[in-house]
Structure 1
């Protein structure tokens, strides 16, 4: 197959590219670094020539509702229109477990993106996955204040980004399925403890303070709103196994 990967240089997208190539597929990366703009559509027509499936893992760092929603909905509409013109037969979107249960701006933007895909002309599959193991590092990097590491309380069941990539390729290899079953990591974790263990693994010995963030949506997350349902597919690699692996991972985009 010829598979195009939107956001193919990102946290999950790079794994989609690697896994697809390992399985013998031809891969096209859709990213500005290779001359493809998902907002304006520049370079898309050429990139999608002969493509069978598009896997969309494109992301934006902003957690502002308006900015995130504009990116997700505009990029999806641009992609889907170009796919329809090119005769692409399947659009696979990566989304997030629990986004319809949490009034959090970034999640509301992802919900808007899901609706665009569902209403589009191209047959689709949506995979909702839980936060990645890299999420702890992303949160830690944003919450260091005067030498003190703040660690937000949140119930999560983190999954390896590589395993998300494997599942996305598996879905791309089959006909459009609508909403696929959720994907999650092997066990539930407390985010504040993940941040604490990450700090110690990186050799940071300062205080790590567990806090309840007052921002919109965090109450629901503390109570498990983004945990997977009982029928979710579970990954293999635990957070501690990921933490013990080298080299040290960098920060992930917000999830």
Structure 2
């Protein structure tokens, strides 16, 4: 009999990879998302869906730069998942966070800090890994910060990692069981966000002007000073951003 896990946010950029990797590893993966009748913010649809599930992998996300909105989302989703897991007897909660979130608890990262606290204080056995931004990050910048023919790109040190490799790391944690906080996971090399967007523009033929901008305040400093780059004690993936662009082509 195949073992059963649940993937919260299983239809997203990372979630699809998690579901795919889980299947290849011999798991039946239940997707928790609006499209499968589950609202993780309200908890609607969670009753009974975690029966016989041995682990929940949470890779949910929200598109916001508001600390209040991020905390509201992650506070609700994490609390609802942990409560449902405890009721169903799920023995393992696997959470994904972001490298450096605790050192830059501003905007979106504020919600990730709250998520980590809820998980680590929970009665449900847990594993938590922090990862750097995915290779898709440059494309997200082009989509979210595009104004007509212009794209505003934050001046930022990044260490992009393949979403498929992060998915593999998450399922590794499912395999071994509750492990607490494990080593950070980053990409194989450091990149400049502006260069990443320029490379994506060239690869896709997108005709836009790129405007590098130093974001203000403490968050802007964290973007530029390497706070969000994995340290020397981190584990690293193998696919570079350039490799990823070539694979897409």
Bin of the TM-score, shorter chain as denominator length: over 0.9
Query: Are the counterparts in 1 of residues 70 and 109 from structure 2 also a CA contact under 8 Å?
Result: no
Q: CA deviation at 1:18?
A: 0.2
Structure 1 counterpart of 2:172, from 167, 170, 183 = 170
Paired positions, count:
247
**What residue number does 1:251 align with?**
none
Q: CA deviation at 1:158?
A: 0.5
Q: Deviations over 1:77-97 (max 9, x none)?
A: 111111011010000001000
- By relative contact order (CA 8 Å, sep 6+), the higher-ranking structure is 1
**What residue number does 2:204 align with?**
202
Greater mean deviation of Cα atoms: 200-209 or 106-115: 200-209
Q: Deviations over 1:147-178 (max 9, x none)?
A: 23332210010000010101001101112111
Q: Hey, what's the Cα distance between the residues in 1 that align with 2:211 and 2:120?
A: 41
Q: CA deviation at 1:104?
A: 2.1
Q: CA deviation at 1:3?
A: 0.8
1:61 maps to 2:54: no
Change (3 A) 1:224 1:52: same
Change (3 A) 1:67 1:149: closer
Q: CA deviation at 1:63?
A: 2.0
Query: Are the counterparts in 2 of residues 103 and 216 from structure 1 also a CA contact under 8 Å?
Result: no
**What residue number does 1:73 align with?**
75
**What residue number does 1:96 align with?**
98
Structure 2 counterpart of 1:135, from 125, 137, 147 = 137
Partner secondary structure for residue 3 of structure 1:
strand
Query: Are the counterparts in 1 of residues 105 and 113 from structure 2 also a CA contact under 8 Å?
Result: no
**What residue number does 1:241 align with?**
243
Q: CA deviation at 1:103?
A: 4.0
Q: What is the Cα-based RMSD across aligned positions, in Å?
A: 1.3
Q: CA deviation at 1:216?
A: 4.4
Q: CA deviation at 1:146?
A: 4.1
Q: Hey, what's the Cα distance between the residues in 2 that align with 1:58 and 1:205?
A: 32
Query: Are the counterparts in 2 of residues 151 and 196 from structure 1 also a CA contact under 8 Å?
Result: no
Partner secondary structure for residue 101 of structure 2:
coil
Structure 1 counterpart of 2:230, from 221, 224, 228 = 228
Query: Are the counterparts in 1 of residues 48 and 88 from structure 2 also a CA contact under 8 Å?
Result: no
Greater mean deviation of Cα atoms: 211-220 or 126-135: 211-220
For structure 1, the 5+ residue unaligned runs are: 248-255
